[in-house]
Amino acid sequence: MTQQNLTAELFLKIADHTLLAPGTTPAELDAFLVTAADIGVVRVCVSPALLPADAQGAEIVTVVGFPSGAHHTEVKVAETVRAVADGAQEIDMVVNRGLVRAGRWADVEAEIRAVREACQGLVLKVIIESAALSDDEIVGACRAAEAAGADFVKTSTGFDPAGGASVHAVRLMAVTVGDRLGVKASGGIRTATAVRELWAAGATRFGVSGTAAILAEWDAPATLNEAGSSFDSGTY
């Protein structure tokens, strides 16, 4: 897939401006949403317990089965139903990684399909925690997500010690799903350089918390961190 030029304006349209820190207070949420409106993002991604919320015109994304994914399917479905009732317009679910690693693809697909049915008409993204999977597991998880009717596959929660998004994982995911699904890159994306690298690899959506900082250095010369990478090893 050939990607168009990624401008700052387009980035704002495809960035899920994210606040998933445990312990977030209502006052911190309000401040985050005001800042999101000032930045001009189209979507905000917040924890389900913070909903309902006044997103000041932005679409609301929330997470289910977060961050481990080690929840019963029925629990993820219940979370989804509640999130939709509370105003979520997109759902980012964490897949059961144990099922993925065991190669139980029918069970992986069934779990995703159950959540899909609980949020019909809304965008569903499946978080596979790519840094903790082998290439074959990444491909299998992406195929299961597509078969179950998901709209996106997503690299990471941003909370796993294995790491966040990588160019390799995004490229593999993009090749696997083609133009049929979107690919959301998330976890440790803190620079405009990282965003551009992931975009070139096939990312079509981004989960980022440092959106304003990324935009502030959008036209600055590219720089690498001390490890020689434009990615941060930390979380969102």
Would you please indicate which residues are annotated as catalytic (active-site) residues?
A: 92, 154, 184
CA-to-CA separations, 156 to 67, 92, 95, 162, in angstroms, rounded: 9, 10, 10, 10
The whole-angstrom separation of Cα 92 and Cα 95 is: 10
- Work out the burial of residue 172: count CB atoms within 10 Å of its CB; fewer than 13 is exposed, 13-18 middle, 19 or more buried: buried
The owner of tokens 């966040």 is: 164
- The answer to whether the CB of 17 falls within 8 A of the CB of 208 is yes
DSSP E strand stretches across 120-202:
123-127, 152-154, 182-186
